[in-house]
Amino acid sequence: MYLYAEHILMVDLTAGTTNAGSFADDLVEEVIGGVALAERLLADYADRDPVVLATGPLTGTLTPGASLGVISRLGEDGVPLHSPLTLFMGSELKYSGFDAVVIVGESPSPVYLWLHDGIAALEDASQLWGLDTWQTSDAIKTAKGDEVIQVLAVGPAGEHGAPAAQLVANYWGTADAHGFGAALGAKNVKAVAMRGLGILDAEEAEDLFEHSLAMGEAVTSAGLPANVIQGLLGGAPDAAACEEWLAPAVHRSKGCFSCPCRCFTYVKYNEPAQEMASTDVAEPGCLLTDAEAVLALFRGGFSPEEAGRLFEGVARRGLHPMTAAARAVAAGTTTAADGLAAVDADPAATIAQEVTPGGPDERTRAGYVLGVCPAFLAASDSPGLEDLLEAVRLGTGMTLDAEGFSDVTAAVTGVLSPRVV
Amino acid sequence: MTTHLQIDPLLCNGCGRCEIACGHYRDEGYTVTSSSILLYRAEEKNNYFGLLYKTEDDLVAARPDGVQVRRQGEPVEDSSPGGKPILLRPPCDGCDPAPCARACMAGAIRVAEEA
Ligand code: SF4
């Protein structure tokens, strides 16, 4: 079916095999994609400790905010747990040739999964085991000779099964609040590396193209939605003071694939923040991906530079930023070195789960099924649900109405977070 | 010749939508392999991103520290590692309205005024 990569990959770690199967159109008509597809695949392989990566029909398209992929597993009580994949992780996965990847079993030795051009391979990762996430991403990019490869990396925290071990996106923290670093580490998987040079075709190519650009124009003419990070901070009484505090270290902010927002702020602490050139300082700073964690360190008395250094250390370890920031502040530390020592002294720290009363709203659920970032959908009134469904109809030729779609989103039972930054 | 596009790299938010839009103009599908403009995202660790743009005669590197125009054939550092290098792509044919500029939601790409 158009707009999909049309392949679901089965990775059996125990057997050491990968198997790319064409997906059945009726499966997609039933579950559409994203978290709904992930939940179906989790159910199908429930007895084999599955971890699923999935994209939606709009992931990787020109729909504004179409960056989203998800990674999913079953919690101890059997309830699906979903973490969003943003930046270029969702789009790269789909362009690598797979709508979804099911990873089952456990590898006898460390491996990483390498996806490109519709091909999947389990590569030896024994040399990578023990490396931090920055070293891991660098090593894979170097080994494959392509800097643009997207790496979901497990850090030492995930190797050791720390409950707060999250997956890191190339070098940066993510909104994974379900410990996928530990989940993959337990399977002896060090990383998932992706490069997407494929092509996604659309049923009504020209109409979808015009519709997608019109959706983008509606977003920009309404005024760009607030930077989601600012939006999050905006609710706090000391938000303006926090921004002022951070400003001297800010280099430049950026967003995800096909999104107008700039949710991520890069700070420099190893060279002047305003240095715009690429200098011989290879690692001048860090991308801040968790607004609440930044606010916590501001309140805790960190300098912005020390906060940046702490987040680098946290990302290298593959830990959840807010959990680490809370630990550093609770220990009364105000430097990266002391804060990281406090974090290291508490490897059993768990991620405090945010619970949205009544569950996430319909728009968030729709984004998680279609592959559109829920933070973007929360920040911008357009596109509306009907616009998104029209994009699916034009792209796939499916007859999908709001009612049918709401049956799909209503059937999603897992834990979804509206927060992706 | 003046280039068809004027690019302000500091307005770019790194979303890559221009690349997909141009690719669609070429191939009627979504892909990053056939555009004349591409998001330079190879130096992620130092947050150094911008746009590369190929015209008939020139290669325009719109980087955060400035826009450089190089005649084709002049040596350039390989600025699009992996994937499909910009030098192997079709040059911009000056199509109008330019899908890359329409797709850019950050205001970083504008069609240049006729010289
Ligand atoms: S809203 Fe923010 S997190 Fe979501 S896709 Fe846009 S830039 Fe990324």
- Looking at the complex, does the CB of residue B71 fall below 8 Å from at least one CB of chain A? no
| A157 C-beta closer than 6 A to ligand 1 | no
Q: How far does B19 lie from chain A, in Å, by closest CA?
A: 10
User: Is residue A305 in a domain?
Assistant: yes
Of A390, A25, A346, residue with least CA distance to A212: A390
Give pLDDT, residue A227. 65
Is A421 close to ligand 1, i.e. is its CB under 6 Å away?
A: yes
What is the reported pLDDT for A280?
Answer: 96
Q: For residue A144, tell me if it sits in a domain.
A: no
Q: What is the tally of structural domains in chain A?
A: 1
pLDDT at residue B1, rounded to an integer: 43
Does A162 reside within a domain? no
Verify whether the Cβ–Cβ distance B29 to A200 is below 8 Å: yes
User: In degrees, to the nearest 5, what angle opens at C-alpha A252 toward C-alphas A250 and A255?
Assistant: 125
Q: What is the sign, positive or negative, of the torsion defined by CA atoms of A306, A141, A175, B33?
A: positive
Residue in B closest to A88 by C-alpha: B15
* Atom 1 of ligand 1, residue of closest alpha carbon: A376
The finding on whether A256 has its CB within 6 A of some atom of ligand 1 is yes
- pLDDT tens digits for A209-245? 999 999 999 999 988 766 666 666 767 889 889 989 9
> Does residue A306 lie in a domain region?
yes
Distance (Å) from CA A258 to ligand 1 centroid: 9
Please write the tens of the pLDDT for every residue from B76-90: 554 555 567 787 889
In a domain? residue A60: no
Average pLDDT over residues A144-166: 97
Residues facing A30 on adjacent strands: none
- Flag if B46 and A281 touch (Cβ within 8 Å): yes
Q: What is the mean pLDDT of chain A?
A: 95
pTM as predicted:
0.96
Please choose, from the candidates A110, A141, A104, A95, the residue with its C-alpha nearest in 3D space to the C-alpha of residue A19. A104
pLDDT of residue A421: 80
Judge: A276–B32 Cβ closer than 8 Å, yes or no.
no
Residue A72 lies in a domain: no
Q: Answer whether A392's CB lies under 8 Å from A348's CB.
A: no
A50: closest CA of chain B, how far (Å): 30
In a domain, A116, yes or no: no
Q: Could you give the ipTM of this predicted complex?
A: 0.94
Q: List, for residues A58-94, the tens digit of each pLDDT value.
A: 999 999 999 999 999 999 999 999 999 999 999 999 9
Calpha distance A199→A195 (Å, rounded): 12
Q: Strand B5-7 to strand B29-31: parallel, antiparallel, or no bridges (unpaired)?
A: unpaired
Q: Across the interface, do B47 and A287 touch by the CB < 8 Å criterion? A: yes
Q: Which residues contact A316 (CB under 8 A, 6 or more apart)?
A: A132, A133, A134, A135, A155
Per-residue pLDDT reduced to its tens digit, A249-290: 999 999 999 999 999 999 999 999 999 999 999 999 999 999
Which contiguous run of DSSP H or E holds residue A72?
Answer: strand A69-74
A373, part of any domain = no
Q: Which residues pair with A70 in a beta bridge?
A: A54, A84
CA of A254 to the centre of ligand 1 (A): 9
Is residue A12 scored above 60 in pLDDT?
yes
pLDDT, one tens digit per residue, over B63-72 is 999 999 988 7
Q: What is the mean pLDDT of residues A1-13?
A: 97
CB-based contact B83 A146, cutoff 8 Å: yes
Q: Identify the domain containing residue A235 by its residue range.
A: 228-344
